[in-house]
């Protein structure tokens, strides 16, 4: 069971929608009790795909029946072919729910199934239950579902589930690749945390202690022994599943305390932007299917860690503020640069607005960089405490079964490197890339990574 029970209660009390997060061996057998507690008189409508039905849905269905819970006929999506997180599939869930008298939706699966049900639950005005079948991503508890509607991937508004149940026996039997993807997604909190340290340091986005403390103090513990995790160690699987879910909660809690801010700051940084870029470009893996979020993020972590290593190999005396201010473009030049980076993406013009919000005048830039130069040594210590070196990160992700070079996800190295400049234009969220950009060394270090015989190889 959870290592941090007391703290978890406090965290749950701060979360708006999630009431219970249950992780452990045989956790599935307690589901009927949660149905009775939170959805008395409702009939359970299990939504699964053929894989997750076989892995957990079937067993859940018979356990619920044994315990006398009312059940609808399940909705099972046939796979293969690959189940897309497409809004049309949300409509199928809604239709099935509307045919039932008094249903409670129970998502049995991981990313896609959960996202479909999360949105359908919101549109039908009924909170849902989720049975996680793999420790594969941090979206179980996040508010919002990543869905394609009219060909465009977007995060659609919807609250997290009321109850999340993960049975370690089931997590253990998930495909190794699915769990490895979750490990990669959890490891992204290392780079995300480093980015937040930088944003805090330059005064753009102060760290919120309460949210920071949900994930960061325990993160290295969750991630340790990647080999044991990869071989299905139940304690390591529980830890990663817990970390992933708490990441979703951290985002929710940050969202509530800072409604105007980008709440995903709590759990994602520049590495997630790589994933968004590759997803939008429709990149497919060797099997012809989209590469999982966690695997894209894992490669994104390596891209970001390479930049961290180069940037923080600089000494304070090498920071040339006059040079940096001089190299900083006027807005017209910057806008042309953004167009060059982004115009192959759908509705690229919106990135102009996003980057305009991040753009500062040269006076402000000089002030910022003066503070950076003066505090450089202290900042570097904090970053090095937060972030493993490139080689350590690579060894850790590799041992967990995550991709660490573009070829691992069937991607051309030039495609991976071309994403750097784009990622910096994607969000109004200050990251290591913005710091490198402000210092006037972003392109120089991308070139260095490109020429290197070590990075992303």
Q: How many residues bind Zn ion (CB under 5 A)?
A: 2
Q: List beta partners, residue 86.
A: 148
Nearer to Zn ion, 214 or 439 (CB): 214
CA dist 248 and 12 (Å) reads 11
- Return the residue matching tokens 């859940």: 60
**Which of 72, 115, 167, 185 forms a contact with Zn ion (CB under 5 A)?**
185
Q: List beta partners, residue 166.
A: 23, 132
**Hey, what are 357's tokens?**
């919000």
Write out 416-434 in H/E/C secondary structure.
HHHHHHHHCCCCCCCCHHH
Minimum distance, C-beta of residue 441 to Zn ion, in the bound complex (Å): 28
Closest CA to 162 of 4, 294, 42: 42
CA dist 245 and 266 (Å) reads 12
Minimum distance, C-beta of residue 262 to Zn ion, in the bound complex (Å): 14
Nearer to Zn ion, 35 or 171 (CB): 171
Nearer to Zn ion, 138 or 434 (CB): 138
| 141: helix, strand or coil | coil
Residues 124-143 close enough to bind Zn ion by CB under 5 A: 138
Judged by CB under 5 A, the stretch of 103-111, 156-164, 181-189, 303-311 that binds Zn ion is: 181-189
Interface characters, 141-180, with Zn ion (x: CB under 5 A): ----------------------------------------
Judged by CB under 5 A, the stretch of 43-51, 183-191, 351-359, 393-401 that binds Zn ion is: 183-191
Minimum distance, C-beta of residue 393 to Zn ion, in the bound complex (Å): 16
Q: Measured at CB, which residue is nearest to Zn ion? A: 185
Minimum distance, C-beta of residue 183 to Zn ion, in the bound complex (Å): 12
| 154: helix, strand or coil | strand
Nearer to Zn ion, 85 or 369 (CB): 85
| 335: helix, strand or coil | helix
Cβ count within 10 A of residue 400: 27
Nearer to Zn ion, 138 or 167 (CB): 138
Minimum distance, C-beta of residue 271 to Zn ion, in the bound complex (Å): 9
CA dist 385 and 373 (Å) reads 19
Minimum distance, C-beta of residue 251 to Zn ion, in the bound complex (Å): 10
Judged by CB under 5 A, the stretch of 184-192, 211-219, 347-355, 401-409 that binds Zn ion is: 184-192
Minimum distance, C-beta of residue 160 to Zn ion, in the bound complex (Å): 14
Which H helix or E strand runs over 405? none
- Start-to-end CA span in the chain (Å): 39
CA angle 318, 320, 324 (to 5 degrees): 130
Is 271 a residue that touches Zn ion (CB under 5 A)? no
Nearer to Zn ion, 167 or 185 (CB): 185
Q: By the criterion CB under 5 A, which residues form the site for Zn ion?
A: 138, 185
């Amino acid at each position: 069971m959870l290592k941090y029970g007391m703290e978890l209660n406090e965290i749950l009390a701060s979360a708006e929608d999630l009431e219970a997060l249950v992780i452990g061996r045989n956790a599935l057998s307690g589901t009927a009790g949660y149905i009775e507690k939170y959805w008395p008189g409702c009939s359970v409508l299990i939504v699964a795909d053929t894989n997750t039905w076989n892995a957990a849905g079937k067993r859940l269905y018979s356990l619920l029946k044994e315990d006398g819970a009312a059940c609808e006929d399940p909705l099972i999506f046939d796979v293969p072919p690959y189940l897309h997180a497409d809004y049309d599939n949300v409509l199928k869930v809604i239709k099935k729910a509307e045919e039932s008298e008094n249903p409670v939706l129970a998502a049995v699966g991981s990313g896609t199934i959960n996202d479909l049900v999360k949105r359908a639950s919101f549109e039908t005005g009924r909170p849902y239950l989720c049975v996680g079948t793999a420790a594969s991503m941090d979206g179980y508890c996040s508010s919002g579902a990543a869905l394609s509607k009219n060909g465009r991937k977007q995060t659609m508004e919807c609250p997290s589930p009321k109850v999340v149940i993960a049975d370690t026996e089931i997590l253990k039997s998930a495909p190794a690749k699915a769990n490895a993807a979750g490990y990669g997604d959890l490891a992204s909190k290392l780079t995300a945390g480093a980015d937040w340290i930088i944003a805090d340091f330059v005064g753009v986005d102060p760290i919120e202690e309460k949210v920071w403390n949900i994930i960061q103090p325990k993160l290295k513990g969750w991630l340790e022994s990647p080999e044991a995790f990869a071989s299905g160690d139940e304690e390591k699987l529980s830890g990663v599943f817990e970390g992933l879910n708490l990441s979703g909660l951290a985002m929710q809690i940050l969202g509530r305390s800072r409604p105007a801010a980008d709440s995903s700051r709590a759990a994602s940084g520049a590495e997630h932007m790589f994933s968004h870029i590759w997803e939008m470009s429709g990149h497919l893996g060797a099997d012809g299917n989209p590469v999982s979020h966690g695997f894209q993020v894992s490669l994104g972590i390596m891209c970001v860690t390479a930049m961290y290593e180069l940037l923080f190999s600089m000494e304070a005396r090498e920071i040339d503020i006059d040079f940096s201010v001089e190299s900083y473009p006027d807005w017209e030049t910057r806008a042309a640069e953004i167009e060059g980076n982004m115009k192959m993406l759908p509705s690229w013009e919106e990135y102009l607005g996003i980057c305009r919000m991040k753009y500062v005048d040269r006076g402000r830039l000089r002030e910022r960089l003066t503070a950076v130069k003066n505090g450089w040594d202290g900042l570097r210590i904090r970053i090095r405490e937060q972030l493993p070196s490139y080689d350590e990160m690579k060894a850790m992700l590799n041992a967990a079964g995550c991709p660490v070079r573009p070829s691992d996800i069937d991607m051309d190295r030039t495609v991976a490197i071309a994403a750097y400049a784009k990622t910096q234009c994607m969000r109004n969220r200050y990251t290591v890339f913005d710091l490198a950009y402000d210092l006037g060394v972003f392109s120089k270090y991308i070139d260095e990574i490109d020429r290197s015989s070590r990075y992303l190889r």
